[in-house]
Structure 1
Amino acid sequence: MCRACNYTIHAAQHHFGWDNSIAPVQRVSPGESVLYHCHDSSAGQLGPQSTVADVAALDFGRINPVSGPVWIEGAEPGDALKITLDSFAPQPAASGRGWGWTANIPGFGLLADQFTEAALISWDFDPATMAPAMWSKEGRVPLKPFTGTIGNALAEPGLHSVVPPRRVGGNLDIRDLSAGTELWLPVEVAGALFSVGDTHAAQGDGEVCGTAIESPMDVVLTFDLVKDARLKMPRFRTPGPVTRHLDAKGYEVTTGVGPDLMAGARDAVAGMVDLLCATRGMPAVEAYMLASTCGDLRISEIVDMPNWVVSFYFPRAVFE
């Protein structure tokens, strides 16, 4: 429980998709803090005891629930909503342990054409220490909780899918939207109508298989308002280094080179899957899912035409 929070948004107070006609569940003034009880991205369809059959049966109409919306007093189109991400606390399972899941969902992910069968990994971790979580018997993934989906309502009327990121935020899946970060989002409707969800225990840059360590979290946010900011896209400020938790042992890196960034990204990730299979004896789909939780997809070069370089960094700390 957040003793300093002004309000609590409960797990039942959520919605699917962005729609500026959804009534706000709370009115919040700039300077106030709110505790959100956020679902995992499956809205509870998957849990610690789930099986691969449950992945295949997922209802995509219930994917990425976001808690809210809240009305920010004084927010008008053209303003920017400033959100300080104060803290993240895992919601323990019945066992008292933190939990999460990573899945290969058919038809979803960067290499969906190569990985067509459902797969599922369940994670168990200490919610108090947030020590690295075990992957099989030989690896540990460092944890860094953050929110994948965070945004304001769009100006356009009607229901808009929560799956793609948008100019007002949404499903950004930026792992550095973690505790201590400050985020600015454009406001397009009166009150902003802000919502948040899709919390993760860890993710690599790119979320290449389409899922990270999907984990329900309690999130504390503080709101401020920047009048007439005329912000066109989200921006954020981190409180310090963003890679140090994975840097200690160096990286294995694969690349993709060519005139198409998407093709280069696919080649870099496929190369890492092949490398992990060859060096660790892992099944390909497990290597793909593991890479999604902790590996980083980066544009290394985009000026030496006609070919660009995309690199995939896998932290050796997971295995050492």
Structure 2
Amino acid sequence: MSIHTVKRVQCHLAWDNSIPPALHVQSGDTVTFDCLDASNGQITPASTRSALASLVFAQLDQVNGPVHVAGAAPGDTLRVDVLAADPAPWGWTACIPGFGLLADEFPEPALKIWALHTHGDAQGERARQGEYGYAWFDEERGIRVPLRPFAGEMGVAPAEPGAFSTIPPYRTGGNIDTRHLSVGSTLYLPVGVEGALFSIGDGHAAQGDGEVCGTAIETPMKVTVRFTVLKDKPYVTTPHFTAPNPHAGAEEFYGTTGVGPDIREATRDAVRNMIAFLGKEHGLDRVQAYMLCSVAGDLRMHEVVDMPNYVIGMMLPKSIFLRS
């Protein structure tokens, strides 16, 4: 296993399979990415609400990479193990005019700068159990938010030629904003081009499912992941993942997703993809799998604000499978 680094300046602003790799690695290698926040450095700890009026939107949601993983070919799956996620000591959350689920009801800009109190354990057991630290939303009122850092943007280059915005999520990943992809999780991505061309960014110190106002606790972040090329998971056609449950000790989930512009169809795809997983990995027929999804699966809105696409997840607890 080799350890590599992608620097902060090695970033780009589109998913495009013609962008030259910043790094070439082997399957099994580990890479640390030094990522700016989603504003690309336009918001700082000293920023005030007025900074939102001068945001250059074309510079938002940059990602670091791409990384070429040897042996990855179209039809394969890229396994991405999240080993560490270390945010800066500060972050920001904003209501940006025109963004968010209730953008029409919140037209005025607002900005909150957070102080992040971390345990300094970006990859240890406390991080894996969700005990990374906290940030005060309002100390006087006693409102405190637990930190659970993750990268909102993780994806591979699309097979289609051309430049695609980093703002929406796609079937190949991208701005999936899935808060469960913290330390100890594993993301599975469908490979569309030789080498996969993986990129990452958009550090979040904490986020709720859906990211309803359009921003999380946005923060610069160093993220370390390990890549493995898999040849035996053709059912992975959208992002899949395994993730620890921070509220249930050693409990883990397996998650599938549906990604698309129609929220109902994205939800149906999330269930279809779980049915495909259960058939391939656990030998269930489609009817059995469908019933199991209904009695043991949870549907979640992972990402609902980065138009035109939604990310809907279906999550099953791995503890129900007594034989693996």
Task: Tell me if TM exceeds 0.5.
Answer: yes
- CA, structure 1 residues 200+154, in 2 after alignment: closer, same or farther (shift >3 Å)? same
- Distance apart, 1:243 and its partner CA: 4.1
Distance, in Å, in 1 between the alignment partners of 2:189 and 2:178 is: 14
Q: Could you report, residue by residue, the CA deviation over 1:240-290 in whole angstroms, capped at 9, with x for unpaired residues?
A: 324459xxxxxxxxxxxxxx979xxxxxxxxxxxxxxxxxxxxxxxxxxxx
From 39, 43, 51, the equivalent of 2:40 is 43
Cα root mean square deviation, aligned: 2.0
SS of equivalent residue, structure 1 residue 106: coil
Aligned residues: 241
| Whole-angstrom distance in 2 between the partners of 1:132 and 1:153 | 34
The question of whether the paired residues in 2 share the 8 Å contact of 1:201 and 1:213 is answered with yes
Q: Give the 5 Å matches for 1:104-123.
A: 104-123=95-114
Give, in angstroms, the shift of residue 126 of structure 1: 2.4
Distance 2:159 2:193 in 1: 6
2:164 to 135, 160, 163: 160
Quote the Cα distance in structure 1 between the aligned partners of 2:85 and 2:36.
13
Letter in 2 for 1:233: T
1:203 is aligned, of 182, 207, 222, to 207
Alignment-mate amino acid for residue 131 of structure 1 = G
C-alpha deviation, 1:144, in angstroms: 0.4
Name the structure 2 match of 1:310: none
Supply the distance in 2 between the matched residues of 1:190 and 1:116 (Cα, whole angstroms): 44
- The one-letter code sitting in structure 2 at the alignment partner of 1:9 is V
- Choose which of 7, 11, 15 in structure 2 pairs with 1:14: 11
Is the counterpart of residue 126 in structure 1 residue 117 in structure 2?
A: yes
Contact 1:176/1:242, CA 8 A, preserved across alignment: no
Alignment partners' CA distance in 2, 1:261 and 1:201 = 26
Q: Distance in 1 between matches of 2:69 and 2:208?
A: 32
Per-residue CA deviation, residues 215-241 of structure 1 (Å, 9 max, x unaligned), is 111100000011253221110011x32
Q: Do the aligned residues in 1 keep the contact of 2:93 with 2:216 (CA within 8 Å)?
A: yes
Is the CA contact (8 Å cut-off) linking 2:87 and 2:203 kept in structure 1?
Answer: no
In structure 2, runs of 5+ residues without a counterpart are 121-131, 250-261, 265-298, 302-324
Contact 2:82 2:186 survives alignment (8 Å): yes
Counterpart CA distance in 2 for 1:5 and 1:216 is 24
Moved beyond 3 Å, runs of 4+? 127-130, 242-245
Contact 2:185/2:241 (<8 A) preserved: yes
C-alpha distance 108-243 of structure 1, shift in aligned 2 (>3 A): farther
Q: Structure 1 residues 261, 84: closer, same or farther in 2, change over 3 A? A: closer
Report deviation, 1:6: 1.3
TM-score (norm 2): 0.71
Partner Cα separation in structure 1 for residue 59 and residue 118 of structure 2: 26
Give the match's secondary structure for 1:214. coil
Report the equivalent of 1:221: 225
Unaligned runs of 5+ in 1: 92-97, 246-259, 263-296, 300-320
Amino acid at match of 1:45: Q
- 8 A Cα contact 1:8 1:34, kept in partner: yes
